[in-house]
Structure 1
Amino acid sequence: MKYYVNQNAQKNGDHEVHTENCQYLPSIANRKYLGDFSSCKPAVDEAKKTYSKANGCKICSPSCHTS
């Protein structure tokens, strides 16, 4: 599965990580491709290299959604 991180932070400061088919996937201009991963955990870890407050989307990556 391809994962992307929203380059715009949520109100709480989180940068959400989404799968390629998520209904909340940000526009091309507002997302950064993270890579192809078997689960959200390594994708969130990759996002944290750029955004310390990365978090999984509660819809497409609920097991990685912490706040």
Structure 2
Amino acid sequence: MIEKSYLVTRDKDLDDLHFVHTEDCQVLPDRARLDRLGAFERCAPAMDAARERFRAVEACALCCPRCRNVAQSEAA
């Protein structure tokens, strides 16, 4: 399996989450706002590395869909 380089946003979004992206993500934020996590074969170890730095992390829906863990909102 080929390793990909993963990054995490330094700043939280409006939901207080830091997002994990691959280096080649189509919606990658400005690199000045990112920290490098390292190279991994899968997104799960990258998420673990991000959780060592930040409490609340989420995977990008575009580049890391297998690692998404956002709870779906319940219909009212």
Place the TM-score, normalised by the shorter chain, in its bin.
Answer: over 0.9
Matches within 5 A, 1:28-39: 28-39=31-42
**Identity among equivalent pairs (%):** 36
Return the TM-score normalized by structure 2.
Answer: 0.83
Task: State the Cα deviation string for residues 20-39 of structure 1 (Å, max 9, x = none).
Answer: 10012121210000000001
Partner Cα distance (2:29, 2:54) in 1 = 16
Residue 59 of structure 1 is matched in structure 2 by: 62
- Whichever of the two has the greater Rg, that structure is 2
Calculate the aligned-residue CA RMSD, in Å. 0.8
Q: Secondary structure at the match of 2:37?
A: strand
Q: Which runs of 5+ in 1 are unaligned?
A: none
Residue 49 of structure 1 is matched in structure 2 by: 52
Return structure 1 stretches of 4+ with deviation > 4 angstroms: none
Partner Cα distance (1:46, 1:26) in 2 = 19
User: How many aligned positions are there?
Assistant: 67
